[in-house]
Amino acid sequence: MTDQTTQTAPEGFRINAAGNMIHLSNVRPIDLARDEIVIEVIEKAKSLSGLVAKFKSATLDDIQAFVELSADRYDVKRGGRKGNVTLTSFDGRYQIQRSIADRLEFDEGLQAAKALIDECLIEWSEGARPEIRTIIQDAFATDKKGNLATHKILSLRRLKIEDPRWKRAMDAIGDSLQITGSKSYITFYQRDKDGKYIRLSLDPTELK
């Protein structure tokens, strides 16, 4: 599909998905109506997305300021935005949770681990249980973007296998794991009449 972000159609024309200039007389009214509603809704969504991003940033700053204010009571200086935090309103109706998850990636050492695991699989091909082969092969499968599922690879370390090569592979997996950053999440809750905290969704895909 042609990138139309820098293309502007002259008056009386529209640019289609293939990047071709089409005169309005050749565009069906239903296509024009569809184009109008899609653009109108997307523009509103982009505006709302920007507001949510600003709200998240401001809320993270507010939470961090409160955490530091609380720590100041004990003359404690905290370094950076670390740790998960739950803040509850005085009456218990509302809760805000800040969660910080590390972004984990594997370096080139993972290839050594994979080579050792492949050696094991080749040797075990006749006697290994098919479930184990499936678990191992699935752990190294990539998604559509070519990314590995970190949690699946790390789950291999829970398998009780005594082969020295397997143990070396598990060591290589651990050594190759790197923390490359972190991401903060904010979740909002409201307590219902039964005392259960219900998450307040800001995601339009979850709205009913």
User: Which pLDDT does position 1 carry in this prediction?
Assistant: 47
pLDDT by residue (tens digit) across 151-186?
Answer: 899 999 988 888 899 999 999 999 999 888 888 899
Give kind and range of the element (H or E) at residue 93. none
Q: Please give the Cα distance from 50 to 63 (Å, whole number).
A: 20
User: Which pLDDT does position 70 carry in this prediction?
Assistant: 86
* Per-residue tokens: 60: 């993270």
User: Which pLDDT does position 18 carry in this prediction?
Assistant: 92
Output b/e per residue, 35-53; b: 16+ Cβ within 10 A.
Answer: eeeeeeeeeeeeeeeeeee
DSSP E strands, 47-90: 85-88
User: Which pLDDT does position 74 carry in this prediction?
Assistant: 72
Taking each helix axis from N to C terminus, what angle separates 164-176 and 109-124, rounded to the nearest 10 degrees? 160
Measured in residues, the chain has a length of 208
Q: Tokens 């309103």 belong to which residue?
A: 89
| pLDDT higher at 183 or 75 | 183
Cα–Cα distances (Å) from 124 to 32, 111, 135, 141, 167, in that order, read 62, 20, 14, 20, 15
User: Is 0.85 topped by the overall pTM?
Assistant: no
Q: What percentage of residues in the chain have a pLDDT greater than 70?
A: 90
CA dihedral 134, 135, 136, 137 (to 10 degrees): 50
Q: Is the pLDDT of residue 97 over 50?
A: yes
- Region label for 74, one of left (φ > 0), alpha (ψ between -120 and 50) or beta (otherwise): alpha
DSSP secondary structure letter of residue 26 = G
Average pLDDT over residues 16-44: 94
Residue 121 confidence class, pLDDT cut points 50, 70, 90 = confident
Instruction: Find out whether 109 and 176 touch, Cβ atoms under 8 Å.
Output: yes
**Nearest alpha carbon to residue 196 among 99, 92, 86:** 92
Average pLDDT over residues 15-43: 94
